[in-house]
Structure formats: structure tokens, C-alpha cells
Amino acid sequence: MEQYIIKGGNPLVGDVTVSGAKNAALGILAASIMTNEDVLIDNLPDVKDINVMLEAIQEIGAKVERVDRHTVRINGGHIKEVSVDDEFIRRIRASYYFIGALLGKYKSAQVPLPGGCNIGSRPIDQHIKGFRALGAEVVIERGTVFAHAIDLVASHIYLDVVSVGATINIMMAAALAEGQTILENAAKEPHIVDVANFLNSMGANIKGAGTDTIRIRGVDHLHGTEYSIIPDQIEAGTFMCAAAATRGDVMIRNVIPKHLEAISAKLMEIGCEVIEFDDAVRVVGKPVQRHTDIKTLPYPGFPTDMQPQMAVTLSLANGTSMVTESIFENRFKYVDELARMGGCIKVEGNVAVIDGVKGFTGAQVNAPDLRAGAALVIAGLAADGYTVVDEIGYIQRGYECFEEKLQSLGAMIEKVDSDREMRKFKMKVG
């Protein structure tokens, strides 16, 4: 089983370029099948979840041509199936986007209930509420969602919970519904805006994405387009925290600084220097960094997907910090792993009380999910000695060339698949 082996202690220094946003790309790939014309998408991140989505799109009959590692041409004109079902698609959360896309285009969809990181119960009741409001019949049988409509008709939908997935899914289904749908209490993440912009580039009529009220006026059909995915806000934030935790000096390129404001603000609060450029941000860690408090919130609040990475950074700051996780109910699984490295975090309900420590010592740890896995890598980079991170498949779902990008910043990290490779690494780095 592949692992990361890390020898910590090197401050990260240099330039790193961020890939396309995974959570925008997943919605955009699903939406791309809603037209019978060619869609060209570039700046796709080359990560596992994207590749699973592309395979599923191909399996239902769409044409998928990989132009290059980050560019794909898709044509949904020959789809012969509205049933998406394979063992891989069941493992990712974004499989649910096929419901909105297929229901919107074919008025019918059959998709397994989603998988994804085990960070909480992750229901899809708000998605179903939206589809039913548009006139679809939706039932769940044998772990599969069956959705069907004679016609989709606009509705006024109020989300009970601010949900990224439900917002994107309902936008897709409503894009081809008759009349104007109003979606209130919508999520406002950058990837919501990116999916809305993508749909509009296909001829949809969506206004207000990025605010909590989105208006979708249905159109008869969608046409082909060419589109480039926005940079990944969370990958950028992960490298920002890695720079802070290792007391490094890193220029993170191909970012939209506005998307990073909550993360930049918190790193400045603990004493880091954060300098913004048009499409880059530079983070300079300081020898002494202070504690602060974090509460995860829907955008533009502090992102839940940055909570583990920030908790590791706060573990290496002076004083006691409080981290409140208000989005998911099970997103502190990294705390026990971090304790093996000397972390001192107590979890009470949805609050983690973090007592800063002088430093971590390397240990063998397990990645419990995607972002916690990335956080444990950051801990290993800052630790004294060797750290081995297991279950790195989680990390590879959302980070392209993670170890190569870190190596380019001076990190001593390698992906190994055997004790022999582990020994070779230790011989090499000493």
C-alpha cells in the first residue's frame, strides 16, 4: 500500500502553482453532459475523483476525449443510459451531481447514493427537496436514487441548510425547467459561481450565484462551450498553512486572492506575513506564531475544508486556540493521529481546544480523510524526524502531484510502496 514518508524540519521555501478546483470541476463535468454539443474544459485537476467522474461519464455513453492531462472534450449527445452505477462512482460524494444533470436533460436519473469522505452523515435531503419542488418524483430504493419527471417546472425553493451540493444540483435541474426558479439560502462558495458561469456559457440563464438567492430561468436547451476551471481555493490554503507551520516563505501562484481572504486573515492573526498579488499570494511564517480562534462557516466564512490544516498550524503556535467545526459532525478524526506526534488537542462536541506545543516528533499516522490527510502531511513536514502517512489514497483524491509540489519547495517527502523504498529514502536524506 502506498505511503508518504517525510523527514521533517525543512521550512518550505519557493514557488508552487495551484491546480484547478476539484469541487468546481466535479459539478462542471456533470453539467457538461447536459448538451449534445462538444464541451471543452481545461485546467482540470488530475486527481482521482475527477478521473472517476470521467469514467462514469464515458460509461453512460458520452464521448470523452482527454486532450491532455488537464484538458478534456466531452460530448453528451450519445448518452444511452440514465442509470449511473459502478463501484468507483459509489465511493465519491460528487456522484449525486449526475441526478441534477440527467434529470434536467432527460427528466430521469438513476444514481447510487453518494460515498465520499467519512466526515459526517452527509444526507441529500435538500437535493431531493429541490428536485421534488421542480416536479420530479424521487424515491430511494436499494441504495439508489430514482428521480423522474414528466416536466420540470420552476419553483421557489428555500434550502433548510446551506448546502454546496444541493445548490449546484438544483441549479442544474432548474436550468432546463420551465419558468424562473428562485433558490434561497443558497451556498456562495467560489465553485458555485464557477458552475453557474459554466452553465451560462452553455446558454443557461442563471443570476445571483455567489449570493444567497439564485434565480434560474429555464431555457429549452444548452449548447457547447469552452471553459477553464477556477484555481483550487483549498489546495491554495493547504500550501499557505504548510508555509506557516514550517516557518517557510512560499509564493502560491495561480490563485484568486479574494477566495482566500478568510485563510489569509487567520494566518495574519497568528503573526504570519501574507502578501497578496493579482494572481498569487505569498505566506511568510514567523518563528513565534500566536494562538487564535476559528469557526468554520459557509463561504465567505472560514472553510471547513481548511479546518484540519489550520488546526495543525495552531498546534505549533503559542497559547490555546479554539476550533469550532459548525458544518460537519465528524471532522476531528486527525486529532488522535496528531497526538501520536505530540499534538495536544481536546475535542468536546464540535469544539477542539488546541494547546500549542513547541514541536512535533515524527510518527506513523493514518490519513482518516482527504483534508485530515493533508493536515497530517503538514504536521510531518514540521516535525522532528521521520513521519509515515498511511492511506494516502484519500489525499490523492484531491491533491494533484502533492509530493512533487512539496518537494519543489524543499520538502523531504516521497511516495513509497515498500520497506525497501522506505530504506532508500532514509539513506538518501540521512
Q: Is 235 in the site for ligand EPZ (CB under 6 A)?
A: no
- Nearest distance in Å: CB 44, ligand EPZ: 14
> What does the alpha-carbon distance between residue 264 and residue 276 come to, in Å, rounded to a whole number?
9
Where are the extended beta strands (E) located within 97-166? 108-112, 137-141, 144-148, 156-158
Residue among 10 and 304 whose Cβ is closer to ligand EPZ: 304
Q: Is 307 in the site for ligand EPZ (CB under 6 A)?
A: no
* 163-202 footprint of ligand EPZ as x/- string (CB under 6 A): xxxx--------------------x---------------
Q: Is 319 in the site for ligand EPZ (CB under 6 A)?
A: no
Residues annotated catalytic, as ranges: 117
Helix (H, G, I), strand (E, B) or coil at 122: coil
Cell numbers given for 429: 536524506
Residue among 113 and 322 whose Cβ is closer to ligand EPZ: 113
Q: Is 327 in the site for ligand EPZ (CB under 6 A)?
A: yes
Q: Is 41 in the site for ligand EPZ (CB under 6 A)?
A: no
Q: Is 7 in the site for ligand EPZ (CB under 6 A)?
A: no
Q: Is 90 in the site for ligand EPZ (CB under 6 A)?
A: no
- Nearest distance in Å: CB 116, ligand EPZ: 7
DSSP state of 150: S
- The window from 122-130, 175-183, 244-252, 258-266 that contacts ligand EPZ (CB under 6 A) reads 122-130
**107 φψ region: left (φ > 0), alpha (ψ -120 to 50), beta (else):** left
Identify which of 223, 226, 194 has the alpha carbon closest to the alpha carbon of residue 209.
194
Q: Is 209 in the site for ligand EPZ (CB under 6 A)?
A: no
- Nearest distance in Å: CB 428, ligand EPZ: 32
Residue among 74 and 166 whose Cβ is closer to ligand EPZ: 166
* Number of residues this chain uses to bind ligand EPZ (CB under 6 A): 26
> What does the alpha-carbon distance between residue 263 and residue 283 come to, in Å, rounded to a whole number?
11
Identify which of 147, 296, 130 has the alpha carbon closest to the alpha carbon of residue 214.
130
Q: Is 126 in the site for ligand EPZ (CB under 6 A)?
A: yes
Per this entry, what is the length of the chain?
Answer: 430
Q: Is 16 in the site for ligand EPZ (CB under 6 A)?
A: no
Q: Are 85 and 96 in contact (CB under 8 A)?
A: no
Residue among 105 and 191 whose Cβ is closer to ligand EPZ: 191
Q: Are 392 and 4 in contact (CB under 8 A)?
A: yes
Residue among 374 and 381 whose Cβ is closer to ligand EPZ: 374
Interface with ligand EPZ (CB under 6 A), residue from 90, 107, 122, 259: 122
Q: Is 145 in the site for ligand EPZ (CB under 6 A)?
A: no
> What does the alpha-carbon distance between residue 71 and residue 63 come to, in Å, rounded to a whole number?
14
Interface with ligand EPZ (CB under 6 A), residue from 194, 232, 235, 305: 305
Q: What is the DSSP string of 250-314?
A: EEEES--GGGGHHHHHHHHHTT-EEEE-SSEEEEE--SS-B---EEB-STTSB-GGGHHHHHHHH
Interface with ligand EPZ (CB under 6 A), residue from 218, 396, 398, 399: 398
Q: What is the DSSP string of 66-80?
A: EEETTEEEEEGGG--
Interface with ligand EPZ (CB under 6 A), residue from 25, 31, 52, 94: 94
DSSP state of 44: -
- The window from 13-21, 118-126, 263-271, 402-410 that contacts ligand EPZ (CB under 6 A) reads 118-126
> What does the alpha-carbon distance between residue 236 and residue 362 come to, in Å, rounded to a whole number?
25
Q: Which residues bind ligand EPZ (CB under 6 A)?
A: 23, 26, 93-94, 117, 120-127, 161, 163-166, 187, 304-305, 327-328, 370-371, 398
